[in-house]
């Protein structure tokens, strides 16, 4: 199963949306395989968003990501971005996390890998291999066909 990296950004944590966001993925049926809370350093945030280093909002974005606790997760899921919604919450559909819970692009409460390759890089950056757990979920046979 494909794996993806998801982080609840400092705005999501401060607004008391940790459980709300986790429950959206949990209710969908995406299996949680790693989770922790941490305050990333500015250097760490710059590493995470390195592909955006030439964008005008890069400094503000990295300062923001490192401004408080972040909840980092790894999940088994192929379609996580659909649940998250568009980068700009004003363009996110209602029913998505950003569409329902966020208002502006610089405070969009959650980050999600944009594809399998970035997911691998992000998982390697945020988690050590021993922080990941492998287990069989008994719900899987009710969520996926052919199990």
Residue 59 counted as an annotated binding residue = no
- What is the token pair recorded at 79? 């379609």
Q: Which stretch binds ligand GTP (CB under 6 A): 18-26, 89-97, 100-108, 127-135?
A: 100-108
61 binds, among Mg ion, ligand GTP, none (CB under 5 to 8 A by kind): ligand GTP
Of 29 and 105, nearer to Mg ion (C-beta) is 105
Is 42 strand, coil or helix? helix
Instruction: Say how far residue 97 (Cα) sits from the centre of its chain.
Output: 11
Of 87 and 124, nearer to ligand GTP (C-beta) is 87
Residue 87 counted as an annotated binding residue = yes
Q: How far is the CB of 109 from ligand GTP (least distance, A)?
A: 9
Is 105 strand, coil or helix? helix
Q: How far are the Cα atoms of 47, 55, 57, 93, 115 from residue 37, in angstroms, in the given order?
A: 18, 27, 25, 28, 23
Of 34 and 102, nearer to ligand GTP (C-beta) is 102
Between 103 and 122, how does the x/- string for binding to ligand GTP read (CB under 6 A)? --xx-x--xx-x--------
Task: Concatenate the DSSP letters of all residues of 72-92 into one string.
Answer: EEEEE-S-HHHHH--SSGGGS
Is 41 strand, coil or helix? coil
10 binds, among ligand GTP, Mg ion, none (CB under 5 to 8 A by kind): none
Residues that bind Mg ion (CB under 5 A): 114
């Amino acid at each position: 199963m494909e794996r993806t990296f998801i982080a609840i950004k400092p705005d999501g944590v401060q607004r008391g949306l940790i459980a709300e966001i986790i429950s959206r993925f949990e209710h969908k049926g995406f299996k949680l395989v790693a989770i922790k809370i941490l305050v990333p350093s500015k250097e760490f945030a710059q590493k995470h968003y390195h592909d955006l280093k030439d964008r005008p909002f890069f400094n503000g974005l990295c300062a923001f990501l490192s401004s408080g606790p972040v909840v980092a997760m790894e999940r088994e899921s192929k379609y996580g971005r659909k649940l998250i919604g568009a980068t700009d919450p004003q363009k996110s559909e209602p029913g998505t996390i950003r569409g329902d819970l966020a208002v502006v692009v610089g405070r969009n409460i959650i980050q999600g890998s944009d594809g399998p390759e970035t997911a691998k890089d992000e998982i390697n950056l945020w988690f050590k291999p021993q922080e990941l757990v492998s287990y069989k979920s008994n719900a899987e046979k009710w969520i996926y066909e052919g199990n």
